[in-house]
Amino acid sequence: MIGKMTIHEFGKDNDKVIVLLHPSVVMWDYFEYVIPLLEKKYHLIIPALPGYDPDIKSDFTSVEEISTELEGWLNLNGLSNVTCLYGCSMGGSIVVRMLANNKVKVQSAVIDGGITPYQLPWIVTRLIAIKDFLLIYTGKLGGTKLLEKAFSTDELSEEDVQYAAKVLKMISAKTIWRTFESCNNYSMPKYIHTDCKYIEYWVAEKEVKDRKWDVEYIKKIFPHTVFRKIKDTGHGGLAPFKPEKFVRGINSVIWKSMISQGR
């Protein structure tokens, strides 16, 4: 455990390290279907992010604080050579910030529908955060089906809706507010440099329009990024709904990273 985060580890005997960062309005078990497919080959590190941890009562802090805590934990535990750093949506924001911090050695990274800081006037960003907060908070009060609309996600089964309702009941209003406020407006270093040689940004087919600004921002700060459209998928839909496709994507990224580095 670090600070306000519980770290879940699988496949600890394996040399290659994969860090998996979950999106908002889910818990770390978002990765439950990909863990059995990856743990035989990789050392998986899956943080339960603050505010979304069923084992610790906490609130979400910020993209910057979580990035710093995770970097510190990886360095302290001799795991600072990361084979693949993956994050979806909110988790993607943390990947972006960690790449910009350049405090751990990342061989490859996947930003899956990752949210980037708005390049808009302060008052506009506040209004957007309020709109997002109200949409999710309404879900917390009983309108869970709104999540499909809110996240351009795949059609949710009754079981998925019940899971979302459980998470929304657990998380605080403060966590909901901080999640959107931070993911939409986190700070970045003045001079951005990453030693990561291979980065992919994944855009689910159903969220292409929603991610337009994010794609432009990533092109600007990490110009060597490869962009991939994931067909027949909604925002954050790969790991829970198409785990085999997710694993193929991660393995492909790692392989391409090794090729690009002549290994």
Which residue segments constitute the domains of the chain, with CATH numbers given? 6-117+189-260 (3.40.50.1820)
* Burial class of 171 by CB neighbour count within 10 A (0 to 12, 13 to 18, 19+): buried
Query: What pairs with residue 228 in β-bridges?
Result: 202
- Write down the pLDDT at residue 137: 56
- Write down the pLDDT at residue 97: 98
- Write down the pLDDT at residue 141: 52
8 Å CB contact between 98 and 122: no
pTM summary value:
0.89
- Write down the pLDDT at residue 84: 98
Residue 153 contacts by C-beta under 8 Å, 6 or more apart in sequence?
A: 147, 206, 234, 235, 236, 237
- Write down the pLDDT at residue 52: 94
Alpha carbon 210 to chain centroid distance?
16
* Burial class of 12 by CB neighbour count within 10 A (0 to 12, 13 to 18, 19+): exposed
8 Å CB contact between 157 and 87: no
DSSP state of 28: G
Weakly modelled stretches of the chain, pLDDT under 50: 1, 150-152
- Write down the pLDDT at residue 171: 86
- Write down the pLDDT at residue 5: 83
Hey, what are 35's tokens?
């863990």
